[in-house]
Amino acid sequence: MKTVGRSLELFFSDGDPTGMLTAEIFNWTGHVLYAPRTRIREAMARKESSYTGVYLLLGEVNGRSRVYVGEAEDIAHRIRSHDVEKEWWDRAVLVVSSANSLNKAHVKYLESRLVEEAFSVGNAELDNRNTPTRSSLAEAATANMEAFLENTLLVLPALRVDVFLRRTRKTQQVAEAAVPGDPIFELTSKKHHLSATARLSDGDFVVLKGSDARASWEGAEGANYRHLHQQLLDSGVLRLEGDKAVFVENYAFSSPSAAAAAVLGRTSNGTIEWQVQGQLVSYKAWEAAQLKETA
């Protein structure tokens, strides 16, 4: 089935792209409010903050993303208590219905499902101690909340919230989303006996299942991708086998350099390291040729 485009409206309420903003999808009753902690006072003064809904507190602890998922009949009241109890978060996201039509049972269901998704994806540590019990809803209400959840998960990445962004890909999914004629890319290291393959799929650079990687991070401690490498090990995407690690699933990276860093265990220019399989043509040269063709 062909994917249908969706219209997302972002509104920067204070005119600052790094500040508070709202997000809505055409023909969806949901309303999402994003605010950095420095603007939390203004966010809690907005009327939607007193609605019934779910909320996320986001931040980092020791370089690792952390999230807390909660629900409340008055979100502003609940977040005010978190402002004292939890020090680590620096962003908040509120998800409500624009008409305040969600009830307690609805948001308890959504809270439970969001925690399940966060645990399943493994992109961040959860500050929740356990998975909340799903509220019991009628069949129609359950279907409505699943549709509401689907739209919520569609909006969040547009707000730079990637906690629920699933990076693992099924092999058939990778193949179907690839552009016909695009090559397989490879990265090898004779010194460390590594061989990895990847391909472009749906705008992501996907390292394919069975590819090798370093067993540990060997680059600078403060490097941007150090925590990504550890996350892949912690989540089980990378499995240790002897003196190296192996991708047990296809994994989508945001760039060739992120993928190269995960494979080599150090910061790397992926546009140079990755080459068209069987050819001495770098990803950078291949990309330049594609752009020249379109011109």
Q: Which residue has the higher pLDDT, 243 or 123?
A: 243
Spell out a b/e string for 116-137, using b for 16 or more CB atoms within 10 Å of the CB, else e: ebbeebbbbbbbbeebbebbeb
Instruction: Name which of 107-116, 118-127, 236-245 the model is least confident about.
Output: 118-127
Q: How confident is the model at residue 154 (pLDDT cuts 50, 70, 90)?
A: very high
Q: Would the pLDDT of 193 be above 60?
A: yes
Handedness of CA 263, 265, 271, 276 (dihedral sign): negative
Mean pLDDT for the stretch of residues 84-106: 94
pTM: 0.81
Q: Which residue has the higher pLDDT, 202 or 247?
A: 247
Q: Would the pLDDT of 212 be above 60?
A: yes
Mean pLDDT for the stretch of residues 49-56: 97
What span, in angstroms and rounded, lies between the C-alpha atoms of 98 and 217? 46
Quick one: which of 168, 164, 137 has its CA closest to 151?
164
Q: Would the pLDDT of 281 be above 80?
A: yes
Indicate the average pLDDT of the chain.
92
Measure CA 189 to chain center: 29
Q: How confident is the model at residue 130 (pLDDT cuts 50, 70, 90)?
A: confident
**Which amino acid is residue 150, in one-letter code?**
E
Q: How confident is the model at residue 58 (pLDDT cuts 50, 70, 90)?
A: very high
**In the chain, what percentage of residues exceed pLDDT 70?**
98
Q: Would the pLDDT of 170 be above 70?
A: yes
Q: Would the pLDDT of 18 be above 90?
A: no
Q: What is the pLDDT of residue 120?
A: 87
Q: How confident is the model at residue 86 (pLDDT cuts 50, 70, 90)?
A: confident
Q: What is the pLDDT of residue 1?
A: 44
Look-up: residue for tokens 């941007």? 224
Q: What is the pLDDT of residue 39?
A: 93
Instruction: Name which of 13-22, 133-142, 270-279 the model is least confident about.
Output: 13-22
Spell out a b/e string for 87-104, using b for 16 or more CB atoms within 10 Å of the CB, else e: eebebbbbbbbeeeebee
Q: Would the pLDDT of 186 be above 50?
A: yes
First to last CA, the chain: 31
**In the chain, what percentage of residues exceed pLDDT 90?**
76
Q: What is the pLDDT of residue 3?
A: 60
Q: How confident is the model at residue 45 (pLDDT cuts 50, 70, 90)?
A: very high
Asked whether 24 and 32 are in contact (CB, 8 A), the reply is: yes
Q: What is the pLDDT of residue 17?
A: 82
- What phi and psi values does residue 149 have, to the nearest 5 degrees? -65, -45
Q: What is the pLDDT of residue 269?
A: 96
Sketch the domain layout of the chain as residue ranges: 8-159, 169-294
